[in-house]
């Protein structure tokens, strides 16, 4: 592996660990343990519903839906912890090829960095209770960061240009993220009006989106 690629991977891992350590140092309390545990368990379950990216070894799962909910409803520590645990489950759940430890750490770190930046940017730019704008900013920031960081490592290891990798492999997934943002907004809105448990009844909608994209990508991969 080229030295530049190693430096990039190691720098992302260090950044992710620093983000996680900083949050644990300055913020440790859970706002609502029961609700958080429910979100965490559902995020772990969603991480097992993976979509294989065409012509790549990477996957995409439904766990980003709960990351968006966390950005709107939880603290930054809670959201980062939820995202990291979900990323760990996604990496280790029935992989086609057993991932190396550095791959798992890189995946977790990209989520930690992506969540930290998306959470900070969305809450800094959107003051007040404008849920729609908050989620739009959050999903755009998270999409760009998460896919950008992964596309860069793929371009470095595969010898391709970053723009080609990002455009060919991830640009099509933006509607998937937007659909998740819409459903996350509906869940958060229902949570604030009727409670978080009834709001989760909307999750089958996201499963339908997942099923559609999975079938679409299977057909795309066969071309």
In a domain, 48, yes or no: yes
Q: How many domains does the chain have?
A: 1
In a domain, 132, yes or no: yes
Give the confidence band of 107 by pLDDT, cuts at 50, 70, 90: very high
Q: In which band, very low, low, confident or very high, does the pLDDT at 128 lie, cut at 50, 70 and 90?
A: low
- Residue 121 resides in a domain: yes
Q: Which range of residues forms the domain containing residue 139?
A: 3-22+32-222
Strands 59-61 and 50-52: antiparallel
Q: What is the mean pLDDT of residues 39-64?
A: 82
In a domain, 27, yes or no: no
Closest CA to 112 of 75, 81, 157, 150: 81
For the domain that residue 60 is a member of, what is the CATH number?
1.10.1760
Residue 78 CB contacts under 8 Å (≥ 6 apart), including other chains: 30, 31, 36, 70
Write down the pLDDT at residue 130: 80
Given this model, what pLDDT does residue 16 score? 93
Residue 203 placed within a domain? yes
- More confident position, 199 or 44: 44
In the chain the first and final C-alpha atoms are separated, in Å, by 31
Does the pLDDT at position 223 exceed 60? Answer: no
| Residue 158: inside a domain | yes
pLDDT for 102 beyond 80: yes
**Each residue's pLDDT tens digit, 161-192:** 888 888 776 766 787 888 888 888 888 888 87
């Amino acid at each position: 592996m080229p030295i530049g690629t190693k430096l990039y991977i190691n720098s992302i891992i260090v950044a992710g660990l620093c983000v996680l350590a900083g949050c644990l140092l300055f913020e440790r309390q859970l706002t609502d343990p029961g609700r958080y545990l429910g979100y965490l368990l559902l995020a772990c379950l969603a991480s097992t519903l993976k979509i294989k990216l065409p012509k790549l070894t990477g996957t995409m799962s439904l766990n980003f839906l709960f990351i968006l909910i966390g950005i709107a409803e939880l603290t930054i520590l809670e959201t980062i912890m939820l995202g990291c645990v979900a990323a760990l489950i996604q990496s280790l759940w029935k992989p086609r090829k057993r991932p190396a430890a550095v791959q798992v750490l890189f995946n977790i770190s990209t989520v930690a960095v992506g969540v930290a930046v998306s959470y900070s940017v969305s809450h800094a730019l959107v003051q007040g209770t404008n849920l729609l704008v908050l989620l739009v900013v959050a999903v755009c920031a998270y999409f760009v960061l998460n896919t950008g960081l992964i596309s860069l490592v793929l371009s470095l290891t595969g010898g391709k240009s970053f723009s080609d990798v990002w455009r060919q492999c991830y640009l099509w997934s933006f509607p998937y993220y937007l659909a998740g943002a819409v459903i996350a907004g509906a869940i958060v809105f229902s949570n604030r009006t009727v409670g978080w448990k009834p709001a989760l009844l909307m999750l089958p909608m996201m499963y339908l989106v997942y099923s559609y994209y999975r079938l679409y990508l299977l057909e795309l991969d066969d071309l």
